[in-house]
């Protein structure tokens, strides 16, 4: 890390790398914490120096990876506004939405104080918040599924078609019902602010989950 | 790339191979048969010869004469006939017609029409097969390495030869080429026969590449260069005895394995294509512009002496400091220096470089515009072309049909005006025609007094040393050549130091004869040529002439590439085919046209590629034309000095001199590996190709720009850091202008600084010049591409400070923006409403107001914005209101939940305070719609009725029925700090919402002027912020919002003194229709470095908590203002996307307030929460969960 210089870095890529890595951890953890999958498929791992849960199911892991693979180009170009993990009940009605709202500062400039460890600290805080978020959330009904949504900025969707990785794993326009939840309550979980990234995580929870 | 690898593959894949043991046996048996039959046949016929010895043919398909007959002929004349094609043995393929796929397969082979054999027999000797090739542009090794780039997808099996310096096979291949050249005599000295006698060998044409490694030299010389050359002799005839000839190199026993190569044919592009079908295919294979060495090599590294021009891509390019302008050079006492305001724009408005560069863009765009117009119109009228067509109709067609053979190959015209600046300068001065004339800024005798502090001698010596250094770089010992001793300066001699150093931009041919050169210092030139007349610059005329030149060219074709104001490339290939005229005819017509229209002469060079066309232009000049025929290329280029190649400037040519290379012919002797070792892989390859007349760049009218920059290293003398900063800012504005002009935005900013070399004289020899300098450069990458001068300036200043330079020693400053991408301008988008980030948006209009005007920048602002709102209010939508009201209105109007549009409007009107009559510009008032004017007047009357000394007089102009609940919070509040009666000089305080709170849609919907005003106001706000913060840290009482009951409706940081009435008020703003451009700066609220929301200065959560606790515990009944302040803070938190903090604050307040004994607090909390929830709901679509 010490040898990274201003010139060598493509900031967008670095940010995207950091963020996607984090999102992967976070998604696994959310799935675990929110009981979307049986806890048996999860394994305890260590990331950001804190224990996290990671699924061992290869298909699930692949799906998450593919998804994030496609999110990455968007983040690189600062075109992703929100990444949302939607948890839906049996009837495919969203009951919870974990919203990672991302904004990158217009001028990415990494000063000497911008240490990765600092960013990791902030990310760790979010991870910890996720792992305790069940305290503020109601239990989910059984048989939930999940999906990942990305809110892009204006023209991003048009450009997305051109990116090969996205072509291989194409996105579809989200259903309105996945995007909007009625009578939702918003529970902010954590906000982080660093030189390279500003992100907040909040949960939108359906009032009546049953 | 491994040669063996692909070769093997080729033989497997191409369908011609795949011979097993059976086939091998069969072939050898057939060969035996053939050998046996041959004597018999000879006896029978009696007319035998050996003209085809070493030639082995394979007949493919139907031929006339038939294959049998050809077999017989080969027997008779010492050749071989293969019934089966063997790549290694067959030297020629005879065919009259080949399918496309076979052509692809046989790309490397000599495919010849049968006439070659019959004609050769007729002539009694083996003719060069080149004229008989079935199709042109057959593979010649190096040629295909260029042109086959585009073909590779078509033919993967026959991968073209790619120069690979490390691989010995290349050299072998090169070496054997002369042998394949259709000349075969079995003698040992045959290589000598191939010595570059060019003209005797018709195959030495363009496209054909000279062997690299001395293969054209006498044999004894190659041994030292390359041992692989030796088996030259063996390659043609695979007879054992020829191999034995290879005695110079015993190690060449690998001949067998190399035999694969033997049939690589030598081709020339010159050979006219006989098959239109084939030809068209080849034309399609336009070489891909893989590299453009001509331009890429332009920056001459380490060449400090850039006072003189650098030959760049054939066009003269001067660094700005070379344009020693009349106005500055004639004011020796002036020490304006770069720091002075306006110097930059003045500099650039005079700089020749600047003109050239901007014009070139302009003409490029002109050509683009023409092309797009034609596309739109579906066809254009080419007047020149029509004329030529008519002309041609009158002509006999005899020559034309002949020409048809040639038009198959591409033809590029390089049109270059003859000493452009001079000929334009004297076109209305016939008295100067025929006299030595120079265009320069100096019109005096060419002598100036030496200035103190300068030391020309020292500089001179420095450059001389520098020059020598190049030579030492070469591993060869220094060879004294005349050029070596020549000083690479502008002709500065030690004793000439006092001469004028104004440079000559252009001089006439008469002056050139006297030894005057472009770029020479005028003083020196005057010495060389005392009669030299100087002509001033006349940029307007240059532009006119240049434009008419381009118009002329465009009347023929739109396939034009603008090189500079006086130079253009025209791809006439299609034009010639269409018209059926020769290039010479076309060139003549063009030149006549140009002469007629501009009064200036132009020279035209023609060649099969850009490089050759340009070289031909040299020969054509002055006022001539020259068509470099393909077959003449080799002879022509061999004698060209290396310096005539594009990309070869002084530093490179001196380096080449050290390698004993002065002409392209010399250069051809160097192997590519050597060149690449000396000059780097790219440049080496470029040189390798250039000296063979190879250049693969097509004419392209649209050229991608790599960077946009502005540089000034003339007259830079700073004394203070501030001056340098101002200069950087101004320079950034120039860059912005250029970026905008090019419609580009860049991501990477590079600051280049020239700093006086330690020990160098303080004053350089050239007035205002930079002298001997060290160059420093630093760059920074931005997250987003920008074209905002302000942003660039900020970065540049940061970089500048990081460099920690002594400003006094700065001699040159340059700003460059790289990593460009087009600014995705919406078609409808213009001005600031393009899709930029708000910061750009807000900063972009800065140049309109120069920094010194800044304090006054928002002149007339308040009234303009006010009138703007008045205007829009009648029919406005809620969104428009959002601009000013933003979310704060919700807080304010939170009592009346839910928020109807009506209510919001009320808030707006309430929040606008009508200034006193004295402060309203009458013209603005008059321009207002009648009803609004009435309201304003009414409000004045109303005010008089209730004279108030309150400093916050609020006079709702429309709805007196709903008085404001209190002084509004963040919105447009015009406060009256002064007592009413006094003539208000300080004006009103206008509170602007934060950037982030400006609704982008609304912003975009505003009239452009209004947007600009807002931008400037925000900019100003940013400026004052630092000042204000300093104030607040000093303990501004107003900041102490909580426990004190101060009416903290506006934190000072948000206020902005805005003199209301200004003479320069723009009345037209009022009339400006609120053009709702739809392109919204999408990321408007996302990206602005906005201040962190603070609650009465508190920003950390712990501080906020303390503050809140104090507030709730010490006060029994909360002030409404304070509550609103908290709401505002919470709203800002939402805006700031810091929900977490908001959540904590809310929860903390809930605990505090609901525990409080006073029920008022509980109500207060409910009020706050309601308001916050509305904002959250609006932003996120759901409300906070408060448990």
- What are the beta bridge partners of residue B712? B813
User: Is 60 exceeded by the pLDDT of residue B204?
Assistant: no
pLDDT confidence of B85, banded at 50, 70, 90? confident
| Residue B777 neighbours by CB under 8 Å, 6+ apart | B750, B751, B752, B753
Select from B784, B1083, B1137 the Cβ nearest to the Cβ of A198: B1137
Strand intervals (E) in chain A: 42-47, 50-55, 80-88, 94-103, 145-152, 184-193, 198-206
Select from A105, A155, A186 the Cβ nearest to the Cβ of B1087: A105
d(CA B170, CA B400): 41
pLDDT (mean) for B1057-1075: 35
Exposed e or buried b for every residue in B202-219, given b needs 16+ CB within 10 A? bbbbbbbbbbbbbbbbeb
pLDDT confidence of A23, banded at 50, 70, 90? very high
pLDDT (mean) for B1095-1101: 76
Select from B837, B1138, B1181 the Cβ nearest to the Cβ of A106: B837
Question: What's the distance, Cα to Cα, between the start and end of chain B in Å?
Answer: 70
User: Is 50 exceeded by the pLDDT of residue B1092?
Assistant: yes
Q: Which of A143-157, B652-666, B682-696, B1014-1028 has the lowest mean pLDDT?
A: B1014-1028
Higher pLDDT, B379 or B504: B504
CB A23 within 8 A of CB A130: no
Higher pLDDT, A168 or B1061: A168
Do residue B1185 and residue A187 have CB atoms under 8 angstroms apart? Answer: yes
Size of interface A-B (CB pairs under 8 A): 90
Q: Give the gap in angstroms from C-alpha B752 to the nearest C-alpha of chain A.
A: 15
B1089 touches chain A (CB under 8 A): yes
d(CA B487, CA B496): 14
CATH classification number, A11-206, choose in 3.30.420.40, 3.30.900.10, 3.30.2320.80, 3.40.50.2000: 3.30.900.10
- What are the beta bridge partners of residue A84? A99, A149
Collapsed DSSP state (helix, strand, coil) of residue B905: helix
**Residue of chain B with shortest Cα separation from A13:** B783
B1138 touches chain A (CB under 8 A): yes
Percent of chain A with pLDDT over 90: 12
Q: Which helix (H) or strand (E) holds B438?
A: strand B437-440
Q: What is the pLDDT of residues B529-585, one digit of tens each?
A: 888 888 887 777 888 888 888 888 888 887 888 887 788 888 888 888 777 778 888
Torsion of CA B141, B144, B146, B150, to 10 degrees: -160
DSSP string, B444-507: S-SB-PPPTTB-HHHHHHHHHHHHHHHHHHSSSPP---HHHHS--SSS--GGGTTB--PBEEEE
Tokens 């294979």, residue located: B285
User: What letter does residue A198 receive in the DSSP assignment?
Assistant: E
* Cα separation values, B1135 from B254, B989, B1092, B1183, Å: 77, 24, 10, 15
Query: Residue B1111 has which token pair?
Result: 């507030």
CB B630 within 8 A of CB B613: no
Of B132, B161, B180, the domain-final residue: B132
User: Is 70 exceeded by the pLDDT of residue B1186?
Assistant: yes
Best of A94, A129, A191, A199 to disrupt the B interface (most B CBs within 10 Å) is A191
CATH of the domain at B104: 3.40.50.10190
Q: Give the gap in angstroms from C-alpha B1005 to the nearest C-alpha of chain A.
A: 18
d(CA B808, CA B759): 14
Closest CA to B233 of B203, B255, B216: B255
Higher pLDDT, B309 or B742: B742
d(CA A63, CA A57): 10
B1087 touches chain A (CB under 8 A): yes
**Residue of chain A with shortest Cα separation from B1138:** A191
d(CA B803, CA B752): 10
Q: Which of B199-208, B340-349, B842-851, B878-887 has the lowest mean pLDDT?
A: B878-887
Percent of chain B with pLDDT over 90: 0
Judging contacts by C-beta atoms under 8 Å, the chain B residues touching residue A191 are 1137-1141
Q: What is the pLDDT of residues B420-471, one digit of tens each?
A: 888 888 877 778 777 888 887 765 555 555 555 556 566 666 666 665 555 4
Q: What is the pLDDT of residues B131-150, one digit of tens each?
A: 777 765 443 333 333 333 33
d(CA B560, CA B385): 14
Q: Is B1126 exposed, middle or buried (0-12, 13-18, 19+ CB in 10 A)?
A: buried
Higher pLDDT, B162 or B1129: B1129
Collapsed DSSP state (helix, strand, coil) of residue B514: coil
Judging contacts by C-beta atoms under 8 Å, the chain A residues touching residue B783 are 11-12, 78, 104-108
pLDDT confidence of A27, banded at 50, 70, 90? very high
User: Is 80 exceeded by the pLDDT of residue A74?
Assistant: yes
Q: Is B56 exposed, middle or buried (0-12, 13-18, 19+ CB in 10 A)?
A: buried
d(CA B730, CA B345): 8
Judging contacts by C-beta atoms under 8 Å, the chain B residues touching residue A101 are 1137
Judging contacts by C-beta atoms under 8 Å, the chain A residues touching residue B1137 are 101, 103, 191, 198, 200
Pairing of β B1057-1058 and β B988-990: antiparallel
Q: What is the pLDDT of residues B643-658, one digit of tens each?
A: 777 777 777 888 888 8
- What are the beta bridge partners of residue B5? none
User: Is 60 exceeded by the pLDDT of residue B882?
Assistant: no
pLDDT confidence of A109, banded at 50, 70, 90? low
* Cα separation values, B588 from B369, B579, B584, B904, Å: 26, 14, 6, 74
**Residue of chain B with shortest Cα separation from A105:** B1087
**Residue of chain B with shortest Cα separation from A182:** B1182
Query: Residue B314 has which token pair?
Result: 């054939």
pLDDT (mean) for B111-123: 81
pLDDT (mean) for B239-254: 40
If phi > 0 it is left, if psi is from -120 to 50 it is alpha, else beta; for residue B93 that is beta
Higher pLDDT, A159 or B1121: B1121
d(CA B304, CA B677): 23
Q: What number of other Cβ atoms are within 10 A of residue B1066's Cβ?
A: 18
Q: Give the gap in angstroms from C-alpha B836 to the nearest C-alpha of chain A.
A: 11
pLDDT of residue B850: 37
pLDDT confidence of B514, banded at 50, 70, 90? confident
**Residue of chain A with shortest Cα separation from B1185:** A185
Best of A8, A13, A107 to disrupt the B interface (most B CBs within 10 Å) is A107
What is the domain range of residue B115? 34-132
Collapsed DSSP state (helix, strand, coil) of residue B521: strand
Tokens 């002065």, residue located: B662
- What are the beta bridge partners of residue A103? A198
If phi > 0 it is left, if psi is from -120 to 50 it is alpha, else beta; for residue B56 that is beta
Percent of chain A with pLDDT over 70: 83
CB A171 within 8 A of CB A149: no
CB B610 within 8 A of CB B629: no
User: Is 60 exceeded by the pLDDT of residue A173?
Assistant: yes
| Residue B548 neighbours by CB under 8 Å, 6+ apart | B594, B597, B598
Select from A107, A185, A193 the Cβ nearest to the Cβ of B1184: A185
B738 lies in a domain?
yes
Cis previous bond, B65, omega within 30: yes
Ranked by mean pLDDT, the top range of A144-148, B650-654, B805-809 is A144-148
pLDDT (mean) for B372-378: 62
Q: Is B458 exposed, middle or buried (0-12, 13-18, 19+ CB in 10 A)?
A: middle
Do residue B1181 and residue A180 have CB atoms under 8 angstroms apart? Answer: yes
CB B212 within 8 A of CB B174: yes
Judging contacts by C-beta atoms under 8 Å, the chain A residues touching residue B777 are none
Closest CA to B1058 of B977, B979, B953: B977
**Residue of chain B with shortest Cα separation from A205:** B1185
Judging contacts by C-beta atoms under 8 Å, the chain A residues touching residue B793 are none
* Cα separation values, A198 from A50, A103, B829, B1136, B1142, Å: 21, 5, 30, 10, 16
d(CA B4, CA B17): 15
Judging contacts by C-beta atoms under 8 Å, the chain B residues touching residue A153 are 1082-1083
Higher pLDDT, B355 or B10: B355
User: Is 70 exceeded by the pLDDT of residue B1135?
Assistant: yes
User: Is 70 exceeded by the pLDDT of residue B744?
Assistant: yes
Select from A12, A101, A200 the Cβ nearest to the Cβ of B783: A12
User: Is 70 exceeded by the pLDDT of residue B1181?
Assistant: yes
Q: Give the gap in angstroms from C-alpha B638 to the nearest C-alpha of chain A.
A: 43
pLDDT confidence of B1015, banded at 50, 70, 90? low
Q: Is B4 annotated as a binding residue?
A: no
- What are the beta bridge partners of residue B780? B749
User: Is 60 exceeded by the pLDDT of residue A114?
Assistant: no
pLDDT confidence of B826, banded at 50, 70, 90? very low
Of B782, B797, B820, the domain-final residue: B820
User: Is 50 exceeded by the pLDDT of residue A79?
Assistant: yes
B1141 touches chain A (CB under 8 A): yes
Collapsed DSSP state (helix, strand, coil) of residue B222: helix
pLDDT (mean) for B148-155: 38
Ranked by mean pLDDT, the top range of A76-85, B226-235, B498-507, B1074-1083 is A76-85
B818 touches chain A (CB under 8 A): no
Closest CA to B777 of A7, A119, A176, A34: A7
**Residue of chain A with shortest Cα separation from B1144:** A188
B1142 touches chain A (CB under 8 A): yes
pLDDT (mean) for B62-68: 80
Q: What number of other Cβ atoms are within 10 A of residue B885's Cβ?
A: 26
Do residue A185 and residue B837 have CB atoms under 8 angstroms apart? Answer: no
Q: Is B416 annotated as a binding residue?
A: yes
CB B932 within 8 A of CB B870: yes
pLDDT of residue A138: 86
Q: What is the pLDDT of residues B293-319, one digit of tens each?
A: 333 333 333 333 333 333 333 333 333
pLDDT confidence of B292, banded at 50, 70, 90? very low
pLDDT (mean) for B68-82: 81
Judging contacts by C-beta atoms under 8 Å, the chain A residues touching residue B1181 are 180, 184, 204
d(CA B789, CA B952): 39
pLDDT of residue A26: 92
- Count the domains in chain B: 3
| Residue B634 neighbours by CB under 8 Å, 6+ apart | B196, B198, B204, B205, B206, B208, B210, B693
Q: What is the pLDDT of residues B334-353, one digit of tens each?
A: 334 444 445 566 666 555 55
Residues of A near B (Cβ–Cβ under 8 Å) read 6-7, 9-12, 78, 81, 101, 103-109, 136, 153-155, 180-181, 184-191, 193, 198, 200, 202, 204-205
Judging contacts by C-beta atoms under 8 Å, the chain A residues touching residue B1182 are 181, 184-186, 204
B809 lies in a domain?
yes
pTM: 0.36
Tokens 């560069």, residue located: B357
d(CA B127, CA B181): 10
Of B97, B132, B167, the domain-final residue: B132
Q: Give the gap in angstroms from C-alpha A177 to the nearest C-alpha of chain B.
A: 13
Judging contacts by C-beta atoms under 8 Å, the chain B residues touching residue A184 are 1181-1183
Closest CA to B219 of B265, B176, B170: B176
DSSP string, B1117-1136: S--HHHHHHHHHHHHHHHHT
Do residue B1183 and residue A104 have CB atoms under 8 angstroms apart? Answer: no
Higher pLDDT, B280 or B544: B544
Q: Give the gap in angstroms from C-alpha B1080 to the nearest C-alpha of chain A.
A: 10
Higher pLDDT, B69 or B102: B69
User: Is 80 exceeded by the pLDDT of residue A24?
Assistant: yes
Q: Is B567 annotated as a binding residue?
A: yes
pLDDT of residue A25: 92
Q: What is the pLDDT of residues B950-990, one digit of tens each?
A: 334 333 444 333 344 433 333 333 333 333 333 333 333 44
Do residue A188 and residue B1142 have CB atoms under 8 angstroms apart? Answer: yes
pLDDT (mean) for B1000-1028: 58
Query: Please, what is the average pLDDT of chain B?
Result: 61
Q: Which of A180-189, B243-252, B1141-1150 has the lowest mean pLDDT?
A: B243-252
Half-sphere exposure of B68 (CA within 13 A, CB side): 0
Do residue A188 and residue B839 have CB atoms under 8 angstroms apart? Answer: no
State phi, psi for B446 to the nearest 5 degrees.
Answer: 90, 20
Q: Which helix (H) or strand (E) holds B1176?
A: helix B1159-1180
Judging contacts by C-beta atoms under 8 Å, the chain A residues touching residue B1139 are 186, 188, 191, 200, 202
pLDDT confidence of B997, banded at 50, 70, 90? low
Judging contacts by C-beta atoms under 8 Å, the chain A residues touching residue B784 are 78, 106-107
Judging contacts by C-beta atoms under 8 Å, the chain A residues touching residue B1142 are 188
Q: What is the pLDDT of residues B155-164, one digit of tens each?
A: 333 434 434 3
């Amino acid at each position: 890390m010490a040898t990274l210089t201003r010139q060598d870095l493509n900031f967008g890529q670095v940010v995207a790398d950091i963020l996607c890595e984090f999102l992967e951890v976070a998604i696994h953890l959310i799935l675990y914490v929110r009981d979307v999958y049986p806890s048996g498929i999860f394994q305890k791992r260590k990331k950001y120096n804190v224990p996290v849960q990671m699924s061992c199911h290869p298909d699930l892991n692949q799906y998450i990876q593919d998804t994030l693979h496609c999110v990455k180009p968007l983040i690189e170009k600062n075109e992703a506004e929100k990444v949302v993990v939607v948890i839906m009940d049996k009837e495919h009605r969203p009951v919870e939405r974990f919203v990672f709202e991302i904004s990158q500062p217009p001028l990415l400039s990494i000063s000497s104080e911008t240490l990765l460890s600092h960013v990791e600290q902030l990310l760790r805080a979010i991870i910890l918040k996720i792992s305790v978020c069940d305290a503020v959330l109601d239990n989910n009904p059984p048989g939930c599924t999940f999906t990942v949504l990305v809110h892009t900025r204006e023209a991003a969707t048009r450009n997305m078609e051109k990116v090969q990785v996205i072509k291989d794993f194409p996105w579809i326009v989200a259903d309105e019902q996945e995007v909007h939840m009625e009578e939702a309550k918003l529970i902010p979980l954590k906000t982080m602010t660093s030189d390279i990234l500003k992100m907040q995580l909040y949960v939108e929870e359906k009032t009546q989950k049953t | 790339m491994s040669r063996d690898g692909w070769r093997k593959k080729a033989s497997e894949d191409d369908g011609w191979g795949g011979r097993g043991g059976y086939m091998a046996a069969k072939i050898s048996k057939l060969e035996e048969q053939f050998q046996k039959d041959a004597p018999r046949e000879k006896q029978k016929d009696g007319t035998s010869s050996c003209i085809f010895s070493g030639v082995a043919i394979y007949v493919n398909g139907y031929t006339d004469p038939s294959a049998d007959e050809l077999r017989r002929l080969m027997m008779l004349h010492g050749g071989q006939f293969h019934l089966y094609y063997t790549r290694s043995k067959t030297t020629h393929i005879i065919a009259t017609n080949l399918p496309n796929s076979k052509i692809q397969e046989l790309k490397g082979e000599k495919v010849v029409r049968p006439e070659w054999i019959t004609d050769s027999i007729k002539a009694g000797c083996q003719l060069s097969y080149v004229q008989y090739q079935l199709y042109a542009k057959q593979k010649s090794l190096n040629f295909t390495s260029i042109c086959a780039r585009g073909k590779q997808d078509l033919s993967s099996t026959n991968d073209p030869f790619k120069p690979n310096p490390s691989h010995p096979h290349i050299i072998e291949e090169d070496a054997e080429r002369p042998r394949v050249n259709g000349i075969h005599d079995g003698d040992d000295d045959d290589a000598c026969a191939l010595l570059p006698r060019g003209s005797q060998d018709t195959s030495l044409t363009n496209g054909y590449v000279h062997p690299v490694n001395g293969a054209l030299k006498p044999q004894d010389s190659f041994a030292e260069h390359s041992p692989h050359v030796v088996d030259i002799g063996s390659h043609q005839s695979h007879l054992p005895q020829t191999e034995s000839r290879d005695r110079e190199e015993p190690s060449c026993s690998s001949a067998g394995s190399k035999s694969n190569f033997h049939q690589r044919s030598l081709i020339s592009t010159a050979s006219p294509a006989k098959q239109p079908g084939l030809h068209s295919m080849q034309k399609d294979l336009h070489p891909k512009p893989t590299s453009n060495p001509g331009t890429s090599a332009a920056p001459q590294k380490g060449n400090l002496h850039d006072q003189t021009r650098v030959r760049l891509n054939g066009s003269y390019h001067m660094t700005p400091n070379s344009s020693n302008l009349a106005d500055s050079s004639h004011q020796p006492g002036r020490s304006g220096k770069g720091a002075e305001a306006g110097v930059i724009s003045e500099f650039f408005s005079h700089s020749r470089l600047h003109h050239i560069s901007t014009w070139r863009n302009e003409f490029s765009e002109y050509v683009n515009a023409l092309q797009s117009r034609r596309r739109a119109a579906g066809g254009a009228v080419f007047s020149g072309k029509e004329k030529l067509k008519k002309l041609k109709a009158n002509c006999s067609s005899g020559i034309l049909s002949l020409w048809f053979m040639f038009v198959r190959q591409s033809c590029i015209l390089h049109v270059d005006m003859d000493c452009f600046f001079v000929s334009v300068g004297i076109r209305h001065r016939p008295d100067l025609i025929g006299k030595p004339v120079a265009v320069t800024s100096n019109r005096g005798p060419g002598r100036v007094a030496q200035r103190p502090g300068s030391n020309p001698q020292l500089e001179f010596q420095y450059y001389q040393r520098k020059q020598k250094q190049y030579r030492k770089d070469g591993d060869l010992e220094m060879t004294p050549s005349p050029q070596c001793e020549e000083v690479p300066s502008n002709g500065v001699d030690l004793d000439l130091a006092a001469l004028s150093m104004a440079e000559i931009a252009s001089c006439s041919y008469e002056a050139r004869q006297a030894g005057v050169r472009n770029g020479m210092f005028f003083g020196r030139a005057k010495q060389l040529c005392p009669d030299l007349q100087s002509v001033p610059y006349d940029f307007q005329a240059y532009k006119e002439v240049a434009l008419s030149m381009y118009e002329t060219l465009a009347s023929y074709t739109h396939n034009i590439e603008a090189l500079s104001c006086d130079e253009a490339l025209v791809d006439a290939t299609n034009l010639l085919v269409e018209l059926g005229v020769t290039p010479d005819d076309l060139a003549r017509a063009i030149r006549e046209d140009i002469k007629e229209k501009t009064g200036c002469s132009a020279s035209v060079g023609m060649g099969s590629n850009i490089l050759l066309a340009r070289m031909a232009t040299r020969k054509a000049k002055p006022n001539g034309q020259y068509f470099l025929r393909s077959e003449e290329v080799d002879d022509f280029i061999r004698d060209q000095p290396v310096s005539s190649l594009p990309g070869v400037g002084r530093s490179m040519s001196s380096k080449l001199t050290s390698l004993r290379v002065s002409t392209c012919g010399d250069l051809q002797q160097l192997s590519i590996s050597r060149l690449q070792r000396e000059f780097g892989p790219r440049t080496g390859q470029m040189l390798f190709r250039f000296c063979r007349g190879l250049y693969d760049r097509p004419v392209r009218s649209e050229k991608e720009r790599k960077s946009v920059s502005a540089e000034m290293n003339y007259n830079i003398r700073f004394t203070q850091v501030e001056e340098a900063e101002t200069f950087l800012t101004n320079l950034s504005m120039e860059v912005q202008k250029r970026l905008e002009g090019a419609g580009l935005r860049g991501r990477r900013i590079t600051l280049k600084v020239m700093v006086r070399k330690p020990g160098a004289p303080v004053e350089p020899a050239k007035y205002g010049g930079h002298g001997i300098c060290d160059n420093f450069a630093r760059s920074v990458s931005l997250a987003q591409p920008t074209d905002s001068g302000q942003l660039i300036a900020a970065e540049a200043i940061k970089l500048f400070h990081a460099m920690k330079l002594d400003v006094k020693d700065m001699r040159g400053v340059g700003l460059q923006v790289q990593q460009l991408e087009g600014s995705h301008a919406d078609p409808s988008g213009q001005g600031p409403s393009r899709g930029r980030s708000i910061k750009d948006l807000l900063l972009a209009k800065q140049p309109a107001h120069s920094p010194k005007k800044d304090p006054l920048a928002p002149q007339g602002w308040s009234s303009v914005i006010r009138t703007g709102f008045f205007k829009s209010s009648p029919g406005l939508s809620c969104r428009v209101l959002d601009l000013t009201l933003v979310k704060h209105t919700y807080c304010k109007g939170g009592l009346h939940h839910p928020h109807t549009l009506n209510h919001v409007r009320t808030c707006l009107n309430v929040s606008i305070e009508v200034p006193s009559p004295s402060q309203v510009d009458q013209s603005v008032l008059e321009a207002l719609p009648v009803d609004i004017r009435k309201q304003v007047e009414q409000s004045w009357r109303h005010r008089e009725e209730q004279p108030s000394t309150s400093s916050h007089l609020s006079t709702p102009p429309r709805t007196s029925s709903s008085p404001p609940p209190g002084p509004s919070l963040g919105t447009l509040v015009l406060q009256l700090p002064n007592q009413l009666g006094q003539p208000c000089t300080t004006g009103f305080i206008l509170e602007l919402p934060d950037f982030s709170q400006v609704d982008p849609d609304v912003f975009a919907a505003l009239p452009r002027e209004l947007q600009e005003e807002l931008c400037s106001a925000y900019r100003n706000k940013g400026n004052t912020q630092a000042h204000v913060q300093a104030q607040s840290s000093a303990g501004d009482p107003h900041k102490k919002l909580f426990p004190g009951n101060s009416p903290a409706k506006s934190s000072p940081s948000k206020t902005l003194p805005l003199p209301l009435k200004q003479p320069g008020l723009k009345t037209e703003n009022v009339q400006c229709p609120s053009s709702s451009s739809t392109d919204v700066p999408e990321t408007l609220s996302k990206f602005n470095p906005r201040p962190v929301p603070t609650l009465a200065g508190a920003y950390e959560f712990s501080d906020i908590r303390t503050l809140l606790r104090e507030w709730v515990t010490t006060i029994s009944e909360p002030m409404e203002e304070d509550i609103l302040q908290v709401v505002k803070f919470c709203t800002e938190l939402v805006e700031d996307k810091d929900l977490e903090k908001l959540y904590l604050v809310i929860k903390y307040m809930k605990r505090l307030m609901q525990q409080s004994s006073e029920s008022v607090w509980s109500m207060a909390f409910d009020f706050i929460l309601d308001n916050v929830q509305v904002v959250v709901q609006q932003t996120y679509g759901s409300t906070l969960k408060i448990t």
